Chains A and B, each alone.
Chain A
């Protein structure tokens, strides 16, 4: 079992809808997570961090951490074509990444 698992996608979402990206992890010791966005051919950039159980909102993005169920999710409201990218989940205390979910926003 991989330490961090993500559905590779592609996940296709209509413009204006909510995109929901999920990540499950196996190490119960992981307390915090980062979400990175990677555009095709570019390097990853940090978009969200979540350090405690529950929800964290930042603009159109909401990160959710559920330690009991060992999953972390990223919601993108009012999806825009510019949100089309691969989203990588990473435990904050480690230097590994999930394989990423490719998100495509269709007009």
Chain B
């Protein structure tokens, strides 16, 4: 079945540690995205990528980094510079980044940093 796989589902880290969240898709989509969601809040865009080896910052990119070495994969690293990293992280993909292309979401990773 085609879809987006995020792993792990739950992740616990100590403050000061970097952590990488995995996102893999087999939908052959060109564009991929990372969003952050805090309790009771909407989705905020962290980074997005329209094509391999290229990505752009979203609204809240500070303290995060990404790579897009393969079309299928778009990992997100939460660095120690991110002041409030505890959140629900959602990865998504679409056929193209614009022009009426809906987003398909993974099941999310819930990160807790203590």
Contact = CB atoms under 8 A, between A and B. Distances in A.
Contacts of A92: 99-102
A71 interface: no
Nearest to A32: B100
Interface string A90-107: 101111111110000000
A24 interface: no
Interface string B93-114: 0000111111111111000000
Contacts of A60: none
Interface stretch (A12-20, A41-49, A62-70, A75-83): A41-49
B42 to A, nearest CB: 4
A34 interface: yes
Contact of B43 (A42, A49, A93, A97): A97
B106 A100 contact: no
B90 A96 contact: no
A45 to B, nearest CB: 7
Contacts of A90: 103
A88 interface: yes
Given A43-B90, A44-B43, A95 B103 contact: yes
Nearest to B104: A46
Contact of A43 (B58, B99, B105): B105
29 contacts: A8-B40, A32-B100, A34-B102, A36-B103, A42-B108, A43-B90, A43-B107, A43-B108, A44-B43, A44-B90, A44-B103, A45-B105, A46-B102, A46-B104, A49-B100, A49-B102, A51-B100, A88-B42, A92-B101, A93-B99, A94-B98, A95-B45, A96-B45, A97-B42, A97-B43, A98-B42, A99-B41, A99-B42, A100-B42
Given A46-B102, A95-B33, A98-B42, 15 more contacts: A8-B40, A32-B100, A34-B102, A44-B90, A44-B103, A46-B104, A51-B100, A93-B98, A93-B100, A95-B48, A95-B97, A96-B45, A99-B41, A99-B42, A100-B42
